[in-house]
Chains A and B, each alone.
Chain A
Amino acid sequence: DGGITQSPKYLFRKEGQNVTLSCEQNLNHDAMYWYRQDPGQGLRLIYYSQIVNDFQKGDIAEGYSVSREKKESFPLTVTSAQKNPTAFYLCASSTGTGRLDEQYFGPGTRLTVT
Chain B
Amino acid sequence: QKEVEQDPGPLSVPEGAIVSLNCTYSNSAFQYFMWYRQYSRKGPELLMYTYSSGNKEDGRFTAQVDKSSKYISLFIRDSQPSDSATYLCAMSANDMRFGAGTRLTVKP
Contacts and interface: CB of A to CB of B under 8 A. Distances in A.
Interface in A22-77: 40-43, 45
Interface string B82-108: 000000101011111111110000000
Nearest to A40: B100
Interface residues of B, number: 27
Interface residues of A, number: 19
**Most A Cβ at <10 Å: residue of B42, B44, B46:** B44
B32 interface: yes
Nearest to A88: B41
Contacts of B2: 42
Contacts of B99: 42
Given A41-B100, A42-B98, A45-B95, A108 B46 contact: no
B43 A102 contact: no
**Most B Cβ at <10 Å: residue of A43, A45, A106:** A43
A45 B96 contact: yes
B1 to A, nearest CB: 14
Nearest to A44: B98
Contacts of B8: 40
A43 B4 CA distance: 11
Interface of A: 4, 6, 40-43, 45, 90, 92, 99-100, 102-108, 110
27 contacts: A4-B43, A6-B43, A40-B100, A42-B88, A42-B98, A42-B99, A43-B44, A43-B88, A43-B98, A45-B95, A45-B96, A90-B44, A99-B94, A99-B95, A99-B96, A100-B92, A100-B94, A100-B96, A102-B32, A102-B34, A104-B45, A104-B46, A105-B36, A105-B43, A105-B45, A106-B43, A107-B43
